[in-house]
Amino acid sequence: MTHVEGLLTVYKTGELTVVGFGGHDSIMNLNLAQCRDELVSLIQEHDCKTLAFDLTGVKVMPSGTLGLMAAMRKLDVDVHVYNPSVDVREVLEITKLDSLIHVHEIEIPNS
């Protein structure tokens, strides 16, 4: 199941909800308020316990987006990121966000 929910591509919903950014390599122009609203709605509608962001292909990410990801923990969900670029992973490590956000390298099946 893959569908676009406003700004986000939703790959899976339920206790584990997986979202991404449509394979865009840069998400610099992301409307954070709208993105937050979409995430809150997904979490509430699907009784989400773990929210995962598929960052496959994302090379550039503003710090506000990382802050938004970390802030989702306030909604009592575990936050994971899949396949962050080397640069994004480095920022997560430098800012110590990798202690709040679980980082994974996973294989993405071909469509």
CATH of the domain at 7: 3.30.750.24
Strands of the 8-12 sheet, one edge to the other: 3-5, 8-12, 16-20, 50-54, 78-82, 102-104
Query: 27, 62 in Cβ contact below 8 A?
Result: yes
pLDDT in tens, the chain (111 residues): 554 455 788 999 999 999 988 766 567 677 889 989 999 999 999 999 999 999 998 888 888 889 999 999 999 999 999 999 999 999 999 999 999 999 999 887 664
For 97, the domain range is 3-104
Q: Is 40 within the bounds of a domain?
A: yes
**How many domains, in total, are found in the chain?**
1
* Residues 17/10, Cβ–Cβ less than 8 Å: yes
